[in-house]
Amino acid sequence: MAKTLIPNIFLVLVVLISLGTNALSDKGVARFPLYHREKFMASHFKDHHSLVKARLGRDRARFKLLHQRHLQHSNSAPFLRPNVDFKETNVFEEGGEYVTVLKVGNPPQKVQLLVDMGTPFTWWQCQPGCTQCYSTPHHIFDTSMSSTYTQTDCSNGSCDVQQLYIQGCVRRGEHQCRFSVHYVDRSVSEGIMATDTISTDEGVHLRNNFSFGCGSRITGIDMFNEAATGILGFVPGGYSFPTQLQANNFTFFLPYYNTTDGGTLDLNYYDEFRFQHSSTAILDIRTDRYYLLFSGIEMNEVAIPIPPEFWEFDSDGVGGVTIDTGTTITKFPEKAYDIFKDYFIRKAQGLPRAPGEDQLDTCFYVKGLYAWTDLVPKVKFLFKVRNPPLKLDVRQVVMAVSDDKYCLAFAAGGRTSIIGSWQLQGSYIGFKLPSHVLGIQPRSSY
């Protein structure tokens, strides 16, 4: 008797445990790993300088991409910075700096994707039938291996051509819903819309009919092959990831660029306790982007006299301060940046100047300098709510471009400021969409 009981109890336990891990928990918290893409790319560069060159190239391309997307949404040109010559860059447009991993289909297959705060659209490469996929060391989703994969018909309500990039049926007699993403450099991702079941990397089931673009013709994109096989759209609306998963709140922990450490992305999770003493900004979600209400910058405890209009929207809705983890270098409007930079140079007199590096124009040598990080002015961001300002770590203020040369990791941009991920790395960033709250809390253990 006892002999048969034990295995039965064991079985019950196994069933309970697997229920616990395979179903979305009560609160629906789902955790994803998050890595900086350079973790997958670093070995391809001969030295730190060439890695930084590629990083700055992606940052310029991203700036151009956000600008183009903004033009599609409005008649205004908030990101436009006249005199910027993009011809120098041959880096393709890409989805972002951080990658995550999902499981798709039944049985589940891993897909590695760039998390993009610049678009609501999600696509990844699919096979078989891919006429032009870029090669990648990461798994390409095999639709024929998934019993739950479904192509979306044009008659299906989810083939909504009002949504960005969804085209519907373009050829006569066709019934598969098509999508097409065109980038400024003429690189293109095209394919059909489909649905499948998705779960976290750890196997927590998320949704049955997750809608995504199944890419089968991708041209011009070659830089992100090491990092990912597609893009996860993270701005709210349309078929974006948080919208489809009905996640009203989520928290990123962004690892530092210069580590192989992993970070996390937690959906349906915003820890009030963690953010209770943190800097908090008010989120303003418009034209598919996250904006935050910003009020200024302090340097060595003194407010920099930048007129507040630079942080605000003008009467045409142009301007503001957006947050984008796919942008590396924080951009301020040119005049605001010039004031900021002049302050920095004046306060950092102990640091010998060095020539600029691409979009970074304020650089210095540190060779042989004792405790040089103490000479770097302390920078704080102020937000329009009464709470502690965001104190940047020296590693978030300057960037090593080679062994002995560092640069101020800020640049002149367009009318809209962009807070980039260099200034957010090593921090928790929590979004509470219903109450328009963004919490930023640097991880103290760093």
Residue ranges binding ligand NAG (CB under 6 A) = 27-28, 42, 48, 150, 153, 156, 158, 195, 208-209, 248-249, 258, 268, 270, 272, 400, 403, 432
Shortest Cβ 244–ligand NAG spacing (Å):
10
Tokens 């050829």, residue located? 171
Shortest Cβ 29–ligand NAG spacing (Å):
7
SS3 (DSSP) at 433: coil
Shortest Cβ 159–ligand NAG spacing (Å):
8
Listed residue (73, 96, 63) closest to 254, CA to CA: 96
Identify which of residues 69 and 405 has a Cβ nearer to ligand NAG in the complex: 405
Helix (H) or strand (E) holding 186: none
Shortest Cβ 249–ligand NAG spacing (Å):
4
Residues 306/297, Cβ–Cβ less than 8 Å: yes
Please, which residues bridge with residue 321 across strands?
417
Residue type, 413: G
- Rounded distance, CA 247 to CA 200, Å? 14
Catalytic site residue 160? Answer: no
Shortest Cβ 54–ligand NAG spacing (Å):
13
Torsion of CA 359, 363, 365, 366, to 10 degrees: -100
Identify which of residues 53 and 182 has a Cβ nearer to ligand NAG in the complex: 53
Residue nearest ligand NAG (C-beta atom)? 400
The pair phi, psi for residue 111, each rounded to 5°, is -130, 140
Residues 149/157, Cβ–Cβ less than 8 Å: no
Q: How far apart, in Å, are the Cα atoms of 5 and each of 10, 240, 382?
A: 9, 48, 64
Identify which of residues 27 and 171 has a Cβ nearer to ligand NAG in the complex: 27
Shortest Cβ 85–ligand NAG spacing (Å):
28
- Rounded distance, CA 221 to CA 61, Å? 12
Total residues found in the chain within this entry: 446
Catalytic residue among 59, 185, 266, 324, which? 324
Identify which of residues 249 and 416 has a Cβ nearer to ligand NAG in the complex: 249
Identify which of residues 28 and 237 has a Cβ nearer to ligand NAG in the complex: 28
Identify which of residues 101 and 198 has a Cβ nearer to ligand NAG in the complex: 198
Identify which of residues 208 and 276 has a Cβ nearer to ligand NAG in the complex: 208
- Rounded distance, CA 378 to CA 295, Å? 17
Catalytic residue among 116, 196, 266, 288, which? 116
Listed residue (417, 359, 362, 420) closest to 88, CA to CA: 359
Quickly list H helices, 334-425: 334-347, 394-397
Shortest Cβ 285–ligand NAG spacing (Å):
16
Q: Quote the tokens at residue 333.
A: 């409007």
Q: Quote the tokens at residue 425.
A: 């790395």
**What end-to-end distance do the CA atoms of the chain give, in Å?**
56
- Rounded distance, CA 184 to CA 69, Å? 9
Catalytic site residue 59? Answer: no
Listed residue (67, 97, 35) closest to 421, CA to CA: 97
Q: Which residues are catalytic?
A: 116, 324
